[in-house]
Amino acid sequence: MSTLESTRDLSPATRPWRRTVRAYVALTKPRIIELLLVTTVPVMFLAQRGVPSLGLIVLTLVGGSLSAGAANTFNMVYDRDIDAKMGRTQGRPLVTGEATPRGAMIFGLVLTLVSTLWLGLLVNWLSAALSLGAILLYAVGYTMVLKRRTAQNIVWGGIAGCMPTLIGWSAVTNSVQWPAIILFLVIFFWTPPHYWPLSMRFTDDYSAAGVPMAPVVQEQTTVAKQIVAYSWLMVLTSLALVPVADMGWIYLGAALLSGGLFVAEAHRLMSAARKGANQQVLKPMRLFHFSITYVTLLFLGVAIDPLLHLPLPGLA
């Protein structure tokens, strides 16, 4: 008997509780939550122009994690049919039977309620509203409306992933101001060149599941050109933060170095695509993995610059 079959044969009541806990934690997609938090805390440092209180950071991170977990859980509930058709998602709890759709739905609703009240009562209601909006954008806007209907799914559906920049800022200031909006746009333009290389690597999976990701319905060169265009927009937008938020040499250096490497890798991908390279030469996952490094480096600059501000000439 296969592992999958043996798992499905066990009723929830007879499974070890640790395995059940692991299954429900997996529903929240912890690795994605980690990436979202990388963009939340540095924005709080920028909004504070220093180090925010540790208590506020913890409260915001807990609320943000619960909120992201809710959105990801709803995504898995709705996508369990296509997850079963894709090799990289066949081990998800709702496919293997480690969790039930009803149980996952209740879990997602509880996380939504708790995260909204947590942020509203312990941080502020603007952050709570932005958090709830992010859940709706991802669970409804992206998962239910866009993902299976348009190749632009990840572009507009990615707005939900931009919300932590606004939540981090509002947690400190109880407002949304231009520096937070610029960083929101950086993540907006970053999302396609982050996600499309992954889609290029797993084109067969998405095709089998009937999901019209751009690499499935468009030529490889077309997607690569769009990746380059979004990469340039992302870098130029990141530089706009310098005059708007009076950023210094530390942030500028991080933006130029990481952005330059990102654009260079995007152009390498486009060059390989134009030559009709296969997956081994194209290596789209190189850009996918570096895109995570890019966000980490850029937002590290966002956090450190206010602490060790080295003003630029003319902006001092």
Query: Is CATH 1.20.120 the right assignment for the domain spanning 177-316?
Result: yes
Distance CA 86, CA 91 (A): 10
Cβ neighbourhood burial of 46 (10 Å; 0-12, 13-18, 19+): buried
Identify which of 294, 296, 289, 298 has the alpha carbon closest to the alpha carbon of residue 253: 298
Could you identify the residue written with the tokens 């348009």?
150
Residue 210 CA to residue 230 CA, distance in Å, equals: 25
Q: What stretches in the chain show pLDDT beneath 70?
A: 1-15, 315-316
Q: Which of 40, 46, 32, 48 is nearest to 119 (CA)?
A: 40
Contact 290, 30 (CB under 8 A): no
Query: Helix, strand or coil for residue 310?
Result: coil
pLDDT of res. 18: 85
- Give the pLDDT of residue 13: 56
Q: HSE (CB half, 13 Å, CA atoms) of 46?
A: 35
CA distances from 203 to 88, 122, 128, 162 (A): 11, 43, 36, 25
Residues carrying CATH 1.20.120, the chain: 177-316
Q: For residues 139 and 157, give the distance between their C-alpha atoms in angstroms, rounded to a whole number.
A: 9
CATH superfamily of 18-160: UbiA prenyltransferase (1.10.357.140)
Q: Is the dihedral of CA 284, 193, 66, 92 positive or negative?
A: negative
Q: What is the model's pLDDT at position 11?
A: 55
> Which part of the chain is CATH 1.10.357.140?
18-160
Q: Which pLDDT belongs to residue 7? A: 45
Q: Which residue has the tokens 């690569």?
A: 224
